[in-house]
Structure 1
Amino acid sequence: MVDRKPPGGVDVTTPNSARIYDFMLGGKDNFAADRAAVAEILKAFPESKEGARINRKFLGDVVTFMVRECGIRQFVDVGAGLPTQNNVHQVAQAAAPDARVVYVDNDPVVCVHGRAILASSEGVAMIEADIADSEKITMEAAKTGLIDWSEPVGVLMVAVLHHVADPYDQVAKIREAMAPGSYLVVSHMSVAESRRSDTDQVNDTYSTARGSGLFPRTVEEINRFFGDFEQLDTVDFIDAAVLRRFAALGWGGLARKP
């Protein structure tokens, strides 16, 4: 496989969690170091690639639901990584051309690369901010002119919170900033004792990647991210049989702010 020329300032010698995910999804914005890391992950979790694609389908289905059924027209994708397959803005704007999306990532390398990918997209912006600084996320998203926090917004935290040691307070602050009628989406790597050694192996691999650690949680711990939001039935967005099959890998949900 011949790698494309990266944007200036992008280090291709160290694996990057966003590019690892891109390769899992069959994308082209990844390099040899990222593909080598995926090979190690697949040794522990052979189902990881399919899990990544199911996670992406979950994301697309939830965004489509929020646009078509809930009237949401603005989205903040926290920990977005690289714009890759079936991006939030592509899914949202396919259902409503006036939908706006702000992508957020804490990795300056990802932001450089992401802005290059998004350069020709309308109603889309990418900002550099960390989940540890929720106030920066809300302020910078508003500064783009695409997000009005006084109106309902869809906030996505998909496959990101398991890279943060203790994000509960910061997620709560973002929930507080969201207007009534807003929606919060979370997908998260789960922990199962039957796969503990495999999870540890994947953690070792991610520890070498830029901007990554790994903190899988139980479903009960993941549910805490929704606070007092009203959780919707997950089977509306992903088949129950798929949820059971990938219970050792992850879990996802959608909740509405009353």
Structure 2
Amino acid sequence: MSDPATPDRPTAAGMYDYYLGGTANTPADRAAAEQVVQIMPEIGDAAWANRGFLQRAVRWLAAEAGVRQFLDLGAGLPTQRNTHEVVADVVRDGRVVYVDIDPAVVARGNRLLAGTRGTTVIEGDVRKPDQILDHPQTRQLIDFTAPVGVLIVAVLHFVPDADDPWGLVARFLDAVPSGSHLALTHGSADHWSERIRDAVFTIYADTPTPPTDRSKTEIEWFFAGLEIVSPYPGGPAGLTFAGVWGAEDPAAADSDGNRLFYAAVARKP
């Protein structure tokens, strides 16, 4: 989830952009991100694994599940081969609503997407689902009587328990019909040492949206009542790592750098 930036304070969104090699980051973002890289050199690989999951999941949803419209929550800037481009590779009539909390990201995103048919960026907070669902541009592009791909990638670990992230996900899914899908990733320190976890979380504590660590079991709760699809041919349906989902060689993709984000795609029955 993006968060409003100030010049002297790092943001999680800017740090993530830095891990991906982007340019939408400030000196404060870069300094904080470099501290994380020193502690966890594989963080860049983990960020790219998460990005790769988004691309593979969207392609699968468009090509295999027949989904033509997507709600991309906490999307950040639509650069780096994002949702609308992947959808356009598969279908001509795809529609994408990007949602971000940062008005600067929204303004820049709409400039980048000017003239791109069936795509918009709106300002919205994932903690306020009704404002997103009822937004005029959402209603203009998304047909809530047809299946929707709800994308919540690398967002919910920035939503504390007090805001009931499970209830927020349920609200978005209540608004879409049977045949819709949820594609979700969530960071977890399950496979980190306590020393690394504490050091990384201390750095992120200086951002406006410090993360909340959740276990695999807690992340599985987001998929309650849904049908989780197999992450790769012949694989067991269930939560896996972002780099493994949809990978051509799942065994090779199961590396330390891919174990930061749990991921799954699930269908609403």
Provide the TM-score with structure 2 as the length reference.
0.85
**Which of 119, 124, 132 is residue 127 of structure 2 equivalent to?**
132
TM-aligned CA distance change 1:143 to 1:255, over 3 Å: closer
Q: Is the 8 A contact 1:142 1:148 kept in 2?
A: no
Does structure 1 residue 69 correspond to structure 2 residue 67? no
Aligned partner of 1:152 in structure 2 is: 147
The residue type paired with residue 231 of structure 1 is I
Distance 1:217 1:111 in 2: 29
Instruction: Name 1:256's counterpart in structure 2.
Output: 267
CA contact (8 A) 1:141 1:147 kept: no
Is the CA contact (8 Å cut-off) linking 2:158 and 2:209 kept in structure 1?
yes
Residue 120 of structure 1, CA deviation? 3.8
2:47 is matched with which residue?
52
Residue of structure 1 in register with 2:256 after alignment: 245
Match of 2:172 in 1: 174
Cα distance in 2 for partners of 1:153, 1:240 equals 31
Q: Which piece of structure 1 moves more, 181-190 or 18-27?
A: 18-27
Residue 11 of structure 2: which of 10, 16, 35 is its match? 16
Q: Which moved more, 1:139-148 or 1:224-233?
A: 139-148
| Structure 1 position 112, deviation (Å) | 2.8
List alignment gaps of at least 5 residues for structure 1.
1-8
Instruction: Name the CA distance, whole Å, in 1 between partners of 2:192 and 2:63.
Output: 39
Structure 2 residue identity aligned to 1:98: D
Structure 1 CA distance for aligned equivalents of residues 132 and 83 of structure 2: 17
The one-letter amino acid of 2:262's match is W
Match of 2:31 in 1: 36
Q: Contact 1:158/1:185 (CA < 8 Å) preserved in 2? A: yes
Aligned counterpart for 2:226 among listed residues 217, 224, 229? 229
2:36 match: secondary structure: helix
Cα distance, 1:66 vs structure 2: 0.5
Structure 2 unaligned residues grouped into runs of 5+: 234-245
Q: Are the counterparts in 1 of residues 95 and 142 from structure 2 also a CA contact under 8 Å?
A: yes
Alpha-carbon separation, structure 2, partners of 1:44 and 1:181: 42
Task: Check whether the contact 1:22–1:82 (CA below 8 A) recurs between aligned residues.
Answer: no
* Residue from 105, 113, 135 that aligns with 2:100: 105
Determine the C-alpha separation between the residues in 2 that align with 1:173 and 1:232.
21
Query: What's the offset of the Cα at 1:194?
Result: 4.3
Q: Secondary structure at the match of 1:252?
A: strand
- Is the CA contact (8 Å cut-off) linking 1:10 and 1:112 kept in structure 2? no
Contact 1:23 1:30 in 2 (8 A): yes
* 1:4 match: none
Alpha-carbon contact 2:190-2:216 (below 8 Å) kept: no
The structure-2 alpha-carbon separation of the partners of 1:141 and 1:208, relative to structure 1 and needing over 3 Å to count, comes to farther
> Shift in Å at residue 45 of structure 1?
1.6
For residue 93 of structure 2, give the secondary structure of its aligned residue in structure 1.
coil
Amino acid at match of 1:189: G
In structure 2, which of residues 188, 204, 207 is the aligned counterpart of residue 206 of structure 1?
204
Counterpart position of 1:89:
84
Instruction: Report the Cα distance in structure 2 between the residues aligned to 1:118 and 1:195, rounded to whole angstroms.
Output: 41
Q: Percent identity?
A: 38
**Stretch deviating more after TM superposition (191-200 or 228-237):** 191-200
Relative to structure 1, the CA distance from residue 243 to residue 225 in structure 2 (aligned partners, 3 Å threshold; closer, same or farther) is farther
